[in-house]
Structure 1
Amino acid sequence: MLRLNRLAQADDWWRAEKPVRRGYPASTQMELAAAGIDVYDAMLIPPALRTFEFAEIVLNNQIFRAKRHELEMLPQMHAALQARLTTSDDPVRYHAILDEGALLRSFGGEESLEQRRLLVDLGELPNVTIQVIPFTAGLHPLFGQRIAILRFADHEDEELVLEPTGAGDMYMEFPDEVQRLRTDMDFLKTTALSPEESARLIMETKSSSLRKK
């Protein structure tokens, strides 16, 4: 099994005197250390794919308002996550599957167009794949969930599942449970629209439900 305490030493750039609520630094750190990430999100665009403005709005729209030190750390965390996608030096292999509903939870106007363009641009990178599950696909095994399956360079044959929840992030490393979620994730890859069809749907989607505070 992967050892979470070992992974916690992978990078210390985010460390601060005050802890960030809901384990956000720990989950971000794991994504930064991963060699490969498969993510499904029925609710929101995943952090690594967000514009900075959308990332800031999501943080401010949580149940508890963001604290100053969280907002101060956000630019660094946001830049680090996207750098893992775009760097030419060993970029992370990233496969995102989004529910069409996640595209609707944006904030409208020119900012929404910028977010959609970023999704399309990132999806054109050789190490990034973005697919959308349309409403017409109906129910599926991961309906309504948010999970990320992480692989690490020194443990390619083992995977860890990160599941964000309202009470904090859950980490799963039991082989049977990880394999079940891997099977479900692979099924979604065959159910979702192709990357090309997904890019067209992303640019056609009108979104306005998440607002600034």
Structure 2
Amino acid sequence: MTRGQGPTVRRRRLASELRRLREAADLTIDEVGEKLECSASKISRIETGHVGVTPRDVRDMLELYGLAGDEREALVQLAREARKRGWWHAYNEVFTGAFVGLEADASSLRAFQALLVPGLLQTERYTHQVIRAMRPDADETEIQRRVAARMLRQELLTDPSPPQYWAVIDEAVIHRRVGGPEVMAEQLARLLELAELPHVTIQVVPFGAGAHAGMEGPFLILGFPEQADPDVVYVDSTPSGFYLEMPPDVHRYSMMFDHLRAAALKPDDTLELIAEAAGRLPLLRKD
């Protein structure tokens, strides 16, 4: 699938167009709701991409906004395509919000993590230990379900047309023995393996860097190939996380990421540090 052509991005693009056309028609959300005999909150949720919209509703809205002909039909078709279900819908009890759909369509991903290995780079055993620690009251069935979902997410990096992935992690991540020495040795080996991929870059911010731009918390910047789909920042600081789409916010986090890259070890030096950390751990048993 071409990057940026999935249902989540299409819904986001449609929402943006509907908002732009309403404003061009000089109508308020309340006026649209009144004329279409629906709640203003429904129109608001459609325009923010929080809910899907039927092709019929889109056609009614566009007629109200004075759009006709091929332009209207193109947006109605976009509404049809936006209603298709991605693979992640089979895990709707695991994935909340639009995060995985946006991730699947991104052409670039810039991640910072201070506490744990980013999800796309985790081994299965590391993931299991992290989820068990973060959800101590979850039963094994739920944990395995979440692990399986994360493993499916990771197929993104081996896709025939993968996104450019750049991860900056704090040095604490490679020293924290999640799951014990064997699990951690396997995880560090995985980082070294993935870093060999041409579209994956990993950097570590060393302890010696002192205070740095990422101390506010983990975040991910998702970039998309089409100009109509501006970058999004996902801030992972709440149970469900939240999104920032306003240009000043996206610019701020882009600057933060640039400062983190500058403070971090160069990629080759990073791999040396990871290899040294792995060398201090017991070798993986072959039995």
Change in Cα spacing, 1:96 to 1:11, as seen in structure 2 (3 Å) is: farther
1: CA distance between counterparts of 2:91 and 2:191?
34
Q: Within 5 A, what are the aligned runs for 1:1-213?
A: 4-5=49-50, 12-16=86-90, 19-20=93-94, 23=96, 26-67=98-139, 68-69=141-142, 71-75=144-148, 77-87=149-159, 89-105=160-176, 106-155=178-227, 158-205=230-277
* Equivalent position SS for 1:143: helix
Give the number of equivalent residue pairs.
Answer: 204
* Equivalent position SS for 1:126: coil
Deviation, structure 1 residue 17: 7.8
1: CA distance between counterparts of 2:201 and 2:118?
13
Is the contact made by 1:8 and 1:29 (CA closer than 8 Å) also made in structure 2? no
TM-score, normalised relative to structure 2: 0.63
1: CA distance between counterparts of 2:138 and 2:172?
24
CA RMSD of aligned residues (A): 2.8
In the TM superposition, structure 1's runs of 4+ consecutive aligned residues that sit over 4 Å from their partners are 1-11
* Equivalent position SS for 1:153: coil
- Of 100-109 and 186-195, more deviation after overlay is shown by 100-109
* Equivalent position SS for 2:214: coil
Q: Percent identity?
A: 30
Deviation, structure 1 residue 120: 0.8
* Equivalent position SS for 1:96: strand
Whichever residue aligns with residue 126 of structure 1, its letter is: P
- Of 197-206 and 7-16, more deviation after overlay is shown by 7-16
**Per residue, is there more helix in 1 or in 2?**
2
The gaps in structure 2 that reach 5 residues or longer are 1-11, 16-48, 53-80, 282-287
**Per residue, is there more strand in 1 or in 2?**
1
The gaps in structure 1 that reach 5 residues or longer are 209-213
TM-score, normalised relative to structure 1: 0.83
Is the contact made by 2:115 and 2:170 (CA closer than 8 Å) also made in structure 1? yes
Larger Rg: 2
